[in-house]
Amino acid sequence: MAGTTASAALQGCYVISLRPVGGHAGLRQAAARHGARVLALSPWRLVARDDADSARTLRRALSASRVIFTSPAAVRAAHALLPLRPRRAQLWLGVGAGTRDALRRAGIAGAIAPARMDSEGVLALPALREVRGADVGLVTAPGGRGRIATELRRRGARVLRADVYVRVAVAPSPRALARLRATTAPLLLALSSGEALQRSLAALPADATTRLRRARVLAASTRLAALARRRGFTDIAIAADARPRSLLAAALERVTEPAIR
């Protein structure tokens, strides 16, 4: 990155965000610090559940000796549904730093997260290695993070799942599609969700999909990088984790490489 200031290193680039409707602010701020703009292609919006059955399953999940939250949205939806009050000797975990911080803001001072901020990282935590016969709460949404529940059950845990919000599919924004088709700017695809990528590829028109596949993928994990390759992407950088600043850091590390198409 010699001769390039950090504030303008990605000048003229578009960072494509597949985050939910209304969830692009963090990525916009991270991109703006380096001169880039965000093109939002949300595949869904998040809707919190507020019914009695959801409250019942959440109460049961929160009774477990270990409680895992899979996203900041899961924390917010759960906190709106029931008070989050940890018991003595109960361990609360977030899949990533953002989820852990959301738990701490909700009053769970001892919440932890793995250094590797994905399903594999949380499953490698010492607290989840020996769970045979234990109850483990999983606060999440339908779809995604299925590996956590599957692996915990394989280890002998009883998984008490609470789906506290749902993802509602939305059509691609016509304005965003027009910009994607028209732009000749370099594209960077911020990839932190495999499900978001697959839904987006299924929903986009063929010409927009072709343009998207020419983006440089900023993958939040090796698993997501492998998924992107299987789905036809060839220019891929792997970030340290899914935080916006980490995704942009992966782009900065490769800014001296041949121009992004």
Mean pLDDT by 10 residues, the chain (261 residues): 56 95 94 95 96 97 96 95 90 92 93 86 92 97 85 97 96 94 95 93 95 96 94 95 91 61 45
- Residue 24 — φ and ψ, nearest 5°? -100, -5
Q: What is the pLDDT of residue 7?
A: 59
By the 8 A CB rule, do 196 and 176 touch? no
- Tokens standing for 191? 């990839």
The CATH class that applies to domain 47-167 reads alpha beta
CATH architecture of 6-43+171-253: 3-Layer(aba) Sandwich (3.40)
Q: Any residues with CB less than 8 A from the CB of 71 and at least 6 apart, and which?
A: 95, 98, 99, 140, 141
Would the CATH topology of 6-43+171-253 be identical to that of 47-167?
yes
Q: Is the pTM of this model over 0.75?
A: yes
Q: Domain map of the chain by residue range? A: 6-43+171-253, 47-167
